[in-house]
Structure 1
Amino acid sequence: MRYVIFKPIFLPLIDMDNGTVCISNNERTFTLDSNFGKFQKIVNVLDGNHSLNDIDEIMKDDNPYVNSVIKFLTENNFLEFSDVDLRKKISGDNRYKSNLLYYMNFSNQEKNSVDVQQIIRNKTVLLLGLGGASLIAATLAGMGIGEIIALDFDKIDKSNLSRQFLFKESDIGGKKVKVTESFIKWNQSRSTMQVLRKKSRRC
């Protein structure tokens, strides 16, 4: 089953009070000759929890009109299609909700926001140094990067605290890699961090 959702990033619709509806995507603004109430009803059903067949059944009394609206919305990239329930994916219980809503800016019929998040999940990033990059490590984990590899042999100094905000006063003297690794395990359990602890010999 293919679920379909009207991308929330393109809401709200605008009622022009003259029998037209104003709607915008990333590229342009459209003014459509359409009853606002009927148009809004279709958008409400395009909630990520229904397939196109479901929508045909729910709005069977207006099928020709519904089909023309959905055709227009599909052609102009207002809709996202997925094999999973999109409404659940962008619910408040999903820690990547904001990510998915942002990725909807770039999704299409071939690749949706859930696909993009999974691509990121499968990525590995190497960080050479965990001074200011400790914040980058935390941000990458927050994005959902699956694995972070870090290399740093430095210890936390008091002077670091003015700009390396992942570290606390109680961390002074500790290894940057260890403190960063602990933070990611505590805050982003779905990401893993591999720490390189040995120096290699120069060739």
Structure 2
Amino acid sequence: MHITVKNLLDIENNIKVSINEFNINSKPQIIAVSKTFKIDKILPLIEYGHINFGENKVQEAIEKWTEIKKIKPSIKLHMIGKLQTNKVKFAVKLFDYIHSVDTKKLAKKILDEQTKINRKIKIFLQVNIGEESQKSGINKENVEQLALYCKEIGLDVIGLMCIPPVDVEPDKYFEEMQNLNKSLGFVELSMGMSSDFILAVKNLSTFVRVGSSIFGQRY
């Protein structure tokens, strides 16, 4: 068994133990964050049957995934990085989920470009839950307004996403996100990475974005 598959199975098992411990009904999906890794590192997971993969750069994703997605149409590709409006027309052709919508301008651009090619991308609104000036994401006070706008124009917003502050206990941020997500009536919630996905699962995250714990350290 390839090491990446073994790592994925270990994470799946840890999640299974956690959802039993926390008495959670749903099982979150694991997005294998494959950004910066070459396709030879990713292929064992594809061959194993894993379908959710995350990238944060449009050009890199196009080069890596265009042909594979033709062969394996069941693969779901998640855009988890900041998306520039000038890359949207390329992103909507390839990605199935975009986790980083944080402005009306970006939302409208996605709508316009996906309409042209008759696709409907699943959208997460990225919240700057720690109110960090260097991070992308909309302030939590403005999330409801953006969610309403997206609904009005017909975007398929399925939930919220966050990246909590580094080196701070993330539990309180995850709990706040869970409550905010619920208050807006969303079902899906994208939070949790290699270092904190168990805490995210405890707070009802439905998608966890795990990279280094599957693929190893990036260089």
Band of TM-score, shorter chain: under 0.3
Structure with the bigger percentage of helix: 2
Does 1 or 2 have the higher relative contact order (CA < 8 Å, sep 6+)?
Answer: 2
Larger Rg: 1
Give the TM-score, by structure 2 length.
0.22
